[in-house]
Amino acid sequence: MASNALAARSARTRASAALFRRPWLRATLLLSAPGAWFVLIYLAALVLLFVSSLWSVESFTGKLEHTWTLENFETLVKVPAYRTIALRTVGIAAAVTLTDALLAVPFAFYAARVAPKRVSSFLFVAVLIPLWSSYLVRVFAWRLILAHDGVLNWWLEKIGLGSVNIGYSNWAMWIVFSYIWLPFMILPVWAAIERVPSSYLEASADLGARGWRTFRSVLFPLIVPGLAAGAIFTFSLTLGDFITPTLVGGAGSELIGNVVYQNVGVANNIPFAAAFAVVPVIVMGVFLLLARRLGAFEAL
């Protein structure tokens, strides 16, 4: 009995001693699980996406044909409709990012620097609360607000401004996207503004700079990483979305996500969907390189 326990202990001691002497082995054992997850689930999915974009489907039966072809990418480049959709997607994503940045900076500045502590905490909760409700519910709410006989037009009629016809249009899509992704812009900008020491702003004032000059030359350069970090969220989230365009978009509001969804779920052309999905991957790659230049990764 005693010798058994002793043997067990000595085995354990030897094992731990072996691990102690070989740090690389320790690291390998520790990282193998998350590493395998990353490679199998994350990278393998990307690889599959890329590989299947080089296949094709038989047009009548919709069966997958495993022969290599660049046909899908050719269609993407040749058919003007897909170019329009890709440009529209990037355009809307850029417009949403810009709108959110313009809304987030004054809001975050007020919340982080001007508002008293209690108001500031209230604002923090107010920004986060919409994230607790379902995305779909919020989009549907906007659909009801912007509809022809919706809340917005009802109010406009009440105050005598007539009615606007923006339900089911690109305008509706822009408004809803800007609303939905706003918290993702506010939070990093808020953090960036909070991080700027007060002494910088005071020094700027001492040197005779007025508010605007201080903002332009001192504050803004320091919060650019925060803006870039927020832009990564708003831009990439808009780039991949297909639910908002489906629900509040109108004729000619299709984004890349819709074409991908239709090709997978409706037309059963997975290779073409994969080929089109490579486009946002490339756009995002370029965007991330730019964001890295602006130091966004330091503000994450």
Partner 1 sequence: MGVQPMRRNRIDWALGAVLALMVLGASACGSSSSSSSSAKLPTSIGAGEGELNLVAWEGYAQPEWVKPYEAATGCKVHAKYAGSSDEMVALMRQGGSGYDMVSASGDASLRLIRGGEVTPMNVELVPEWKNFIPQLQSPPHNTVDGKHYGISLQWGPNTLLYNTQSVKPAPTSWAEIYNGKYKGRVTVPDNPIQIADAALYLSKTQPSLGITDPYELTEAQLNAAVALLKQQRPQIKKYWALASDEIELFKNGDVVIGAAWPYQYSTLIADHEPVQQIIPEQGATGWADTWMLSSHAAHPNCAYKWVNWVSSPKVQAQQAISYGETPVNTKACAYMEQIQKGSCEVYHANAPAAYFNSIKFWKTPVKECGNGQNNCMDYSAWQQKWTEVTS
Nearest approach in angstroms of CB 219 to partner 1 is 21
Instruction: Figure out which of the listed residues 59, 134, 198, 199 binds partner 1, where binding follows CB under 8 A.
Output: 59
Least distance from C-beta 62 to partner 1, angstroms?
6
CA atoms within 13 A on the CB side of 163: 14
In the block, tokens 């047009």 appear at: 59
- 60 scored as a contact of partner 1 (CB under 8 A): yes
Closer residue to partner 1 (CB): 146 or 219: 146
Q: Which is nearer to partner 1, 204 or 263 (CB)?
A: 263
In the stretch 255-294, what mask flags binding to partner 1 with x, by CB under 8 A? Answer: ----x----xxxxx----------------x------x--
Task: Select the span of 67-75, 115-123, 180-188, 213-221 touching partner 1 (CB under 8 A).
Answer: 67-75
Contact set for partner 1, span 19-48 (CB under 8 A): 43-44, 46-48
Q: Which stretch binds partner 1 (CB under 8 A): 7-15, 79-87, 92-100, 215-223?
A: 79-87
Considering only residues 142-161, where is the footprint of partner 1 by CB under 8 A? Answer: 147-150
The only residue of 254, 280, 291, 296 in contact with partner 1, by rule CB under 8 A = 254
Q: Can residue 296 be called a binding residue for partner 1 (CB under 8 A)?
A: no
Examine residue 195 and tell whether it contacts partner 1 (CB under 8 A): no
List b or e across 68-88, with b for residues whose CB sees 16 or more CB atoms inside 10 angstroms.
Answer: eeeebbeebeeeeebeebbeb
Q: Which residues bind partner 1 (CB under 8 A)?
A: 43-44, 46-48, 50-51, 54, 59-63, 65-68, 75, 79-82, 84-85, 147-150, 165, 167-168, 246, 249-252, 254, 259, 264-268, 285, 292, 297
